[in-house]
Amino acid sequence: MFTEFTGRPTTRSAAALSAVGLLGLATLLAFCLDSQVSLTSLAMVYLLAVVVAAYLLDWVASAATAVAAVTALNFLFVPPRWTFEVESRDHLIALSAMLVVSLVISHLARGLRREAALARLNEQRAQQLQWLATELGAAQTPQEVCELGRRALLQAFAGPVLLVGLDPDGSMQTEPSVPSLVRQGLQQCVKENAVLGPGTGRWPGLNAWYLPMGNAEETLGVVQVQPARAGDNEGRLHAAALVALLGQALLRLRLNRAVLAAQGEAQRQHLLNTFLAAISHDLRTPLAAITGAATSLQTQGERLSHASRERLMGSIVSEATYLNTLAENTLHLTRLTSQQTMLPLQWESLEELVGTAVARIRQRDPDRRISTRVQPGLPLVRAEPVLMGRLLANLLDNALHYSDGPVEVTAQAGPAELSLCVKDRGRGLTEELKARLFLPFSRGDHTGLRGAGLGLAVCHAIASAHGGRLSARNRKGGGAAFCLTLTLEPQPDLSEAMP
């Protein structure tokens, strides 16, 4: 709660001692000046004590000091001395005027002190609102917003303070320890979307303020603040201002989530349109080639030479293989990027995965350019074998497609990671190509070479789905190396599986 250091006595006894001390000092000074100054000057000495008391003490103590000062002046210095009688009418008028002036000074000082305290409190509250607005601007989650709000409310009010958020369906989850009356107040506040409690005209019998978080159309949560006094309008307005900032922060976070979702959907639609356009283009060419070759074989098969028929059959097989690869890459990319896919991972031997993939690719590599160098005794990896085989096949196809030299497959394990690389001696990678290498439908400047630009994107998606990473770099002496890095996991106990 906001506190203010005033330097004033805080208890009745301290105030009484202060008043007695001020009157004692004034009396001592008056006795010292008694033989040298007039009675009017002595009255000014007591009046000075009254002014100091009005500045330092509360209304009751300062008023009592004013009455006591007039009484002491009359008893000690006004003739006849040491009595409460006043023999002169002038002295009576002077004492009466002094009493009135003293009381007026006490009253004015009280009002001035109250206004000054209110001004300082308002300044503190304005600074707190500014601080909270700044902190909420950096908040990223509703939990951070609620924690900042709780801290601010407990700084401004003695408490207790209760913040309750609403679920997306509008339901409210409260702790079982929350009293039923408090729970009813929270629910009614959400229902009316208005401030409830003392001084609000709504549910004045409550002992706390209930303030909704949100805007006029929607409530995102509700706050209970104690203590709540009916006459403390400034405090209620400050609580409402704090809660309004919290509501705006929650609305901002929800709006940000909606914007991100809309941007994601727009990006997905754009990717889908690009995907359909690219697929349509890449399907048309091989389908036309297959149709042409098949038509020639059907209509002119008997008139064609054996070599021509073999060439047409080879063209059909090659284009069908290309279509099959394109279809598989398309399905894998769609599966891995359209949703959070949980792969059915199982323990696999990397040597077997490499051997299977290389053996399959070598059927399309009559020059046998592929060589392997696999570290013996590699640990097992958790992988989905079909997808991992597709990743290796795509990397090897790429290396064979875009280079004429040897292609090397290496696999080795480190202390914490396992690395699988496919290396070629082709043209290497430009910096521009590296930046978009793993994006769908991204291709380098390879004039005359056919490709859809999906292979590396599928490889990148497969690596991410396995919790690994796929990187590319240029090799010394020319060529490129594509490396898959997987984190090693604790190895399974295979003793139970042994016969």
CA distance 67 to 69: 5
CA distance 215 to 236: 18
Contact 204, 240 (CB under 8 A): no
pLDDT digit string (tens) for the chain, length 499 residues: 554 444 455 577 888 888 899 999 999 999 999 888 888 888 899 989 988 888 888 888 888 888 899 899 889 988 888 888 888 888 888 888 888 888 888 888 888 888 888 888 889 889 989 999 999 888 888 889 888 988 998 888 887 888 888 887 777 777 888 888 888 888 888 888 888 888 888 877 788 899 988 887 788 888 888 888 888 888 889 889 998 999 889 889 889 989 998 888 887 777 667 666 666 766 777 788 889 888 888 888 778 888 888 888 888 888 888 788 777 777 776 777 665 557 778 888 888 988 888 888 887 777 778 899 999 888 898 888 888 888 888 898 888 888 888 999 999 998 889 999 999 988 888 888 887 788 776 666 555 556 667 778 888 888 888 888 999 999 888 889 999 999 888 888 766 555 4
CB neighbours (10 Å) of residue 314? 11
Contact 458, 394 (CB under 8 A): yes
Specify which residues 219 forms β-bridges with.
214
Residues with Cβ within 8 Å of residue 301, at least 6 apart in sequence: 309
Q: Return the half-sphere exposure (C-beta side, CA atoms, 13 A cut-off) of residue 196.
A: 23
Residues with Cβ within 8 Å of residue 158, at least 6 apart in sequence: 1, 226, 227
Q: What is the largest CA-CA distance in the chain?
A: 154
Q: What φ, ψ does residue 253 adopt, rounded to 5°? A: -65, -40
Give 177: exposed, middle or buried? Use CB within 10 Å, 0-12, 13-18, 19+: exposed
CA distance 20 to 120: 30
Give the CA angle between residues 259, 264, 266 to the nearest 5°.
Answer: 95
* Exposure class string for 268-307: b at 16+ Cβ within 10 A, else e: eeebeeebeebbeebbeebeebbeebeebbeeeeeeeeee
